[in-house]
């Protein structure tokens, strides 16, 4: 007997489940319900169409109801909202624009309802000048409003990925843009010592940032909308993009017997199966396991959603596939800058009670002698065994491939020793003989094998200044152009002859521009009987965080 599978929701998780299931089973009856008009679209491309980077709207439509029917023989029912799931009798209740309210039975059910924008009970939030961006209809409404109303100023409430991408694209469109973020920094997956570079890039390109200040009230004045902040400051704008987060769209299954997590996410096992045997779930609405920390989490990214939908289809077809967790690999373009992250950040590791070490390096995107080389910052988090726990990068060129390599290493439970051993492609236009990934591995390896005593500027700030000497081993010219207050300058090339100028009873904290000369200075002085630490990332970290 042919199985009947109902899929609730499209986009990444639902559409992937539907098409994978058809490829595995030509005879299954597959029905997909989508509350909106569009079943499979490039969600991540929406800001770029609004900004005019993507010119053709149809380029965002991955599959239509008609193409799903003709190519995959899937019965797609748009403008059809599933309002109830009866797990005892294996049927759902559908509210359809064309058919009214009716019931549909199933053998298997895949839940991919996604998430909806959070709209908290802030006074004035229902103004028609406030928009959210989750789907094609939202995109059309924003673009239409900007084009027809002569919008010149926008407040973006929320500094997550979508908020920042919207800010960039609205600025490129020529609008005045302010991002308001209640937290102390934007882009929560990044640690503050990395994300400051993104914040500087936004400001450099004319986007105003208001941090550590949330929205208290919206006041529609007719021609404009005033955004009143908790601090009392008021921002006047033509429109507001509300981007303060999303919540799983799972209200319709609350009384179904399907278990939900504390924030409304669908609880699934490694097979993407709910607590009810023949019901699976995928995408933004599910609770998953963090691949690094082992804690429960939710990751709203297209890559994981596609994989989860595929795995659900595999298991319906008897292939016994498992989802091994999400590591949150993500990347964002902010004007000329790229920032990327994979694995756990410091806050996640602290929440999980996992001890970690960290290093910073500032390599060039490719061989420095080949034209066009640009600096980047890489941060690596690892434990005492060398296991890689997370990485973050920011720069103008080459960040994406380095984070992707480290993401692969994390997925295969690799160590910093593996990063040092990796044989990566090299030619001067693309990399260096020691790729930045290798370099991160070397620095971390030295730290773990006691070839270097790594210290961060944050750790230095907590020491008693009477206990150490801050040693700047850059050239005299570099020192004159800027240095850390209180530092003594002995250039590296003079250090062997001038080491006796230093007090052996004190700790020597050496720094250079990026950490390499500081490391060499540390090796020289350590073997002369000094106790030495090398500041990871060097003076570049001071300049970057300033």
What per-residue confidence (pLDDT) applies to 65? 79
The catalytic residue among 44, 125, 196, 484 is: 44
The pLDDT, as a whole number, for residue 224 is 93
Give tens-digit pLDDT for 514-526: 999 999 999 999 9
Q: What is the mean pLDDT of residues 450-454?
A: 94
- 265 and 229 in a single domain? The answer is no
Residue 68's pLDDT is 85
The answer to whether 80 and 95 have CB atoms below 8 angstroms apart is yes
Name the burial class of residue 426, with classes exposed (0-12), middle (13-18) and buried (19+) by CB atoms within 10 angstroms of its CB: middle
Q: Count the alpha carbons within 13 Å of 327 in the hemisphere toward its beta carbon.
A: 23
- Strand 376-382 and strand 388-395: the pairing is antiparallel
Active site residue 512: no
pLDDT number for residue 215: 97
Radius of gyration of the chain (CA): 27
Which of 448, 480, 505 is at the close of a domain? 448
Query: Is there a domain that residue 325 lies in?
Result: no
The closest of 435, 429, 419 to 387, measured between CA atoms, is 419
- Is the model's pLDDT at 464 over the cut of 90? yes
Task: Identify the pLDDT of residue 546.
Answer: 83
Name 540's Cβ contacts closer than 8 Å, sequence gap at least 6: 362, 375, 377, 513, 514
Query: Whole-prediction pTM value?
Result: 0.93
207, pLDDT greater than 90: yes
Total domain count for the chain? 4
Residue 125: inside a domain:
no
Express as a percent the part of the chain with pLDDT over 90: 91
pLDDT above 90 (res 344): yes
Residues 142 and 196 in one domain: yes
Q: Please report whether residue 173 resides in a domain.
A: yes
512 neighbors 473 (Cβ within 8 angstroms): yes
Domain co-membership, 19 together with 106 = yes
Q: Tens of pLDDT along 239-257? A: 999 999 899 999 999 899 9
Which of 190, 127, 125, 126 lies closest to 164, judged by CA? 190
Q: In which residue are the tokens 């799972």 written?
A: 250
141 with 189, same domain: the answer is yes
Give the CATH number for residue 334: 3.50.50.60
Residues 6+ apart with CB under 8 A from 496: 524
Host domain of residue 45 = 4-114+248-316
Tell me whether residue 403 is in a domain: yes
- Say yes or no to pLDDT of 311 above 90: yes
With vertex at residue 254, the alpha carbon angle to CA 248 and CA 260, rounded to the nearest 5 degrees, is 60
Helix, strand, coil abundance in the chain, percent, nearest 5: 30, 30, 40
In a domain, 324, yes or no: no
Q: Domain boundary at 316, 344, 366, which?
A: 316
Residues 141 and 53 in one domain: no
Among 517, 546, 531, 529, residue whose Cα is nearest residue 469: 531
């Amino acid at each position: 007997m042919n199985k009947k599978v109902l899929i609730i929701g499209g986009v990444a998780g639902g559409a992937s489940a539907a098409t994978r299931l058809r490829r595995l089973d030509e005879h299954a009856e597959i029905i997909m319900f989508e509350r909106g008009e569009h079943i499979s679209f490039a969600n991540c491309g929406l800001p770029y169409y609004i900004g005019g980077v993507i010119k053709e709207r149809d380029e965002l439509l991955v599959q239509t109801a008609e193409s799903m029917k003709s190519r995959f023989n899937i019965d797609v029912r748009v403008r059809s909202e599933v309002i109830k799931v009866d797990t005892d009798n294996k049927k759902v209740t559908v509210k359809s624009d064309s058919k009214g309210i009716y019931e549909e039975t199933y053998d298997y059910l895949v839940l991919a309802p996604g998430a909806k924008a959070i709209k908290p009970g802030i006074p004035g939030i229902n103004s028609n000048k406030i928009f959210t961006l989750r789907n094609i209809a939202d995109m059309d409404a924003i673009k239409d409003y900007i084009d027809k109303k002569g919008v010149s100023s926008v407040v973006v409430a929320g500094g997550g990925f979508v908020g920042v991408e919207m800010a960039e694209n609205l600025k490129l469109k020529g609008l005045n843009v302010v991002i308001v973020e209640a937290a102390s920094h934007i882009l929560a997956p990044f640690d503050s010592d990395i994300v400051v570079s993104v914040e500087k890039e936004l400001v450099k390109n004319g986007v105003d940032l208001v941090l550590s200040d949330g929205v208290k009230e919206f006041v529609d004045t007719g021609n404009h909308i005033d955004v009143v902040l908790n601090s009392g400051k008021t921002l006047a704008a033509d429109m507001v993009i509300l981007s303060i987060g999303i919540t799983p769209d799972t209200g319709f299954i609350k009384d179904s017997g399907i278990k939900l997590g504390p924030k409304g996410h669908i609880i699934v096992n490694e097979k993407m199966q709910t607590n009810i045997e023949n019901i699976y779930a995928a995408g933004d609405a599910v609770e998953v396991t963090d691949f690094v920390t082992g804690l429960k989490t939710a990751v709203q990214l297209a890559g994981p959603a596609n994989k989860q939908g595929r795995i659900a289809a595999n298991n319906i077809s008897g292939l016994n596939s498992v989802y091994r967790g999400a590591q949150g690999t993500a990347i964002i373009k902010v004007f000329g800058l790229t920032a990327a992250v994979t694995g756990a950040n410091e806050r996640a590791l602290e929440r999980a009670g996992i001890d970690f070490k960290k290093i910073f390096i500032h390599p060039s995107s490719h061989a420095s002698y080949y034209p066009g080389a640009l600096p980047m910052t890489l941060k690596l988090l690892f434990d005492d065994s060398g296991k890689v726990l997370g990485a973050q990068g920011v720069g103008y060129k080459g960040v994406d491939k380095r984070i992707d390599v480290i993401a692969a290493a994390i997925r295969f439970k690799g160590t910093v020793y593996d990063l040092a051993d990796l044989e990566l492609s090299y030619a001067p236009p693309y990399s260096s003989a020691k790729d930045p990934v290798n370099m991160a591995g070397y620095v971390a390896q030295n730290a773990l094998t006691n070839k270097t005593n790594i210290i961060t500027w944050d750790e230095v700030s907590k020491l008693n200044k009477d206990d150490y000497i801050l040693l700047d081993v850059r050239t005299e010219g570099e020192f004159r152009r800027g240095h850390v207050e209180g530092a003594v300058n002995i250039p590296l090339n003079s250090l062997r002859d001038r080491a006796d100028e230093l007090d052996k009873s004190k700790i020597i904290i050496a720094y250079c521009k990026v950490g390499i000369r500081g490391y060499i200075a540390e090796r020289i002085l350590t073997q002369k009987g000094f106790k030495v630490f090398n500041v990871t990332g060097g003076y570049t970290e001071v300049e970057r965080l300033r």
